[in-house]
Amino acid sequence: MLMQTHEARLSALREEMKRQKLDGFVVPISDEHMSEYVGSYAQRLEWLTGFGGSAGSAIVLSHTAAIFVDGRYTIQVREQVDGKLFDYQSTLDTTHAKWLAANVTKGARIGYDAWLHSKGWADSLSAALARKGAELVAVETNPIDAVWGDQPKPSKAPAIVHPQEFAGQSSAEKRAIVADWLKEEEYDAAVISALDSIAWMLNIRGADVDRTPVALSYLIAHSDGTAELFIEPEKVTPELEQHLGNAVTIRDRADFTPHLKDFAGKTVAVDPDYGVAAIYQALEKGGATAVAVRDPAILPKAIKNPVEQQGHRDAQARDGAAVAKFLHWLSYEPSKGGQTELSAAAKLREFRDETGVLKDQSFDTISATGPHGALCHYRVDEDSNLGIEPGSVFLCDSGGQYLDGTTDITRTVWIAGEGDKAQPTAEVRDRYTRVLKGHIQIARAIFPQGTVGGQLDAFARQYLWEAGVDYAHGTGHGVGSFLGVHEGPQRIAKASGGQPGTDQELFEGMILSNEPGYYKDGAFGIRIENLVLVEKQEIDGAEGTYLGFENLTWVPMARDMLDLSLMTAEEKDWWNAYHAKTYEILAPQLDGDVLDWLKDACAPI
């Protein structure tokens, strides 16, 4: 019999905890690879609590329970999770360690799944619990898996070859980069557990995680350029075997943990962010020295080669035409009434599907009207779905996965109504224009080699700060090539608070988003997002190397939301040049009413 209520699921978990002699259990959103997006089999937090966000965790004790989210999900968690079952906790105000210190007693045994947490997290929490006389215990069987009767199975979809015409480099070349690093650092091997790093190194892709084309597997890279791929046998095809050749040994995924015990006396690199605690524990149990160091594939993966750069340009142009069709549809259809957040998301997917080459969305579309626009990571479902009303702000953040590139774009529009609802309010125009001004500052930024993302972030916020407002997310994240829509190590965000990636130097060839925003709780949200490519700048008399951004996304922005009195002549010139280029790229792909709309949307201001 399946447990349909979250109260019943929580009760069943507590019974299983009692059976395993646990006084508590920590439930993250995570998989064995510390992925941002996880397969349905790993959505343990959502099954237990109902929370559908992409980041969060819960701790269940015998007498109480809490769910932990950051500022992005403050409203969403209250909509989706029963406050009678779980106390709401903000990660800005507390930590797992602090909460447990206030709620556990001496002798308590708090369970965790070592395949779902980092070693750093486990070490830190273990030390904190020890100070209370309690113990952190690695479970042999995840107690949620034990009671989740209809838990989906991990995907058995075959791994597929990613052609070199899109990858730009062979797997042998990429493995040589890692091998050279291993020799230079004097490591015997590296455990590569991040799924996108494995996909990049081997030029393979998969269908095991929604929105991210990766194959569930592990890779051990050696200093001689060889590697061992641990993957379910059902996922291996003759084409994959031929592609990988003799230098990559294919092993059963089940052999991965036992194999880690064979590195006695060896020094093995493991990424502290993607290598789970269980990997470190298995290596150390076998007598190896496990060194916490960044995955050697991450930086070369982030620096796109010329083939990948051109692929992104091609994907953006194709995707831009699909989004332009959607914006044209938004210009008239919702004003008639009857459209919803879900129907708009479906319409956008329809336009992308018409390209004939869309592989997937790059993330669940954020289709948000009115107050939902103020939830910067909102995900619409049947329960939350709102009608798109005339006289409102509509925000849509979406992207596509294509063989030649991954896209991510946000546009915010005014849904026109009658009378006083025909035009945006003065407040909306003010906030939209300030967001745009920050977006332009990032787009036009020129900076010396050695600059890190955290140094650019204030460029985007300055005009909002002048009005006494801000936004609670980063300004830019890295993007993969037919891989993760969020890709490190680079990031543009506030450097305070230890946000990862803000201290990463920006290199020519990196791709980032440019997405400042503004969110008024309960009213509306605004975000303008393009992707940009870091490129060298030719400056007469320059002393040293200087970099800037090539814009990659070409889709009209909302001219009826502008407050032209706030814009400088230079900003208006940027706007006009941007829309002239947008028309040049999109017009050959469009016709009829959509082309007429594009011409008006791209006319100079």
160-295 classified as CATH 3.50.50.60: no
Residues 288-314 as b or e (16 or more Cβ within 10 Å = b) = bebeebebbbbbbbbebeebbbebbbe
Task: Note the CATH number of domain 6-147.
Answer: 3.40.350.10
Burial class (CB within 10 angstroms; exposed 0-12, middle 13-18, buried 19+) of 535: middle
Tell me 545's DSSP state.
Answer: -
Count of Cβ atoms closer than 10 Å to residue 428 Cβ: 21
Res 299: pLDDT: 98
Is pLDDT above 90 for 251? yes
**Structure tokens that stand for 30 in this block:** 């995570």
Count of C-beta atoms within a 10 Å radius of residue 597: 19
Q: Which residues contact 543 (CB under 8 A, 6 or more apart)?
A: none
What integer best gives the mean pLDDT of the chain? 96
How many C-beta atoms surround the C-beta of residue 127 within 10 A? 11
Q: Which CATH architecture has domain 303-601?
A: Alpha-Beta Complex (3.90)
Residue whose entry in the numeric block shows the structure tokens 């070592």: 114
> Which amino acid is present at 162?
H
Secondary structure E strands in 420-579: 447-448, 476-478, 487-492, 511-514, 517-520, 524-527, 530-537, 546-551
Position of tokens 């002798």?
107
Region class of 451: left (phi > 0), else alpha (psi between -120 and 50), else beta: beta
Distance CA 490, CA 244 (A): 29
The model carries a pTM of 0.94
- Confirm if 232 and 253 have CB atoms less than 8 A apart: yes
pLDDT at 498 over 70: no
DSSP secondary structure letter of residue 292 = E
Worst-scoring range by mean pLDDT, 77-81, 545-549, 592-596?
77-81
pLDDT tens, position by position, 530-588: 999 999 999 999 999 999 999 999 999 999 999 999 999 999 999 999 999 999 999 99
Do 160-295 and 303-601 show the same overall fold? no
Reported confidence tier of residue 1, pLDDT bands at 50, 70, 90? very low
Domain ranges of the chain: 6-147, 160-295, 303-601
Which residues are within 8 A (CB) of 86 and not within 5 positions of it... i.e. 6 or more apart?
49, 58, 65, 66, 67
Say yes or no to pLDDT of 276 above 90.
yes
| The pLDDT value given to residue 72 | 77
At 87-105, the pLDDT tens digits run: 999 998 999 999 999 999 9
- What is the distance between the alpha carbons of residues 313 and 552, in angstroms, rounded to a whole number? 6
313 vs 383, more confident:
313
Inform me whether the pLDDT recorded for 496 exceeds 80.
no
Q: How far apart are CA 330 and CA 23, in angstroms?
A: 53
User: How many Cβ atoms from other residues are within 10 Å of residue 507's Cβ?
Assistant: 15
Helix runs in 354-456, H state only: 426-443
